[in-house]
Amino acid sequence: MIKVLFFASLREQTGQSNLSVEWQEGMTAAQLWQQTTDSSTLPDNVLVACNQEYCDSETVVNDGDEVAFFPPVTGG
């Protein structure tokens, strides 16, 4: 299983903060996004972290991983 987390506005858009997804061999973070959001593509501005480390959308996820999606952080 893969634990999926959504933060900030993405949590509001998806209507969920976390869920568990059945792991599939070769699944990338982008494919996980598509499966969990019913969206065809991962938006360019969405940040991805796998096991609390930033990664890109083509990172292959493994069974037991935690994948988080969140909007860019702004500040000033």
**Domain residue limits at 45:** 2-70
pLDDT in tens, the chain (76 residues): 999 999 998 998 888 999 999 999 999 999 999 999 988 888 889 999 999 999 999 999 999 999 999 998 766 5
Residue 75 domain flag: no
Q: Which of 66, 63, 67 is nearest to 24 (CA)?
A: 63
**What is the pTM assigned to this prediction?**
0.91
CA–CA gap between residue 31 and residue 2 (Å, rounded): 12
What's residue 60's pLDDT?
Answer: 98
3-class SS string, the chain: CEEEEECCHHHHHHCCCEEEECCCCCCEHHHHHHHHHCCCCCCCCCEEEECCEEECCCCECCCCCEEEEECCCCCC
Residue 40 domain flag: yes
Residue 46 domain flag: yes
Residue 76 domain flag: no
Count of domains for the chain: 1
CATH of the domain at 25: 3.10.20.30
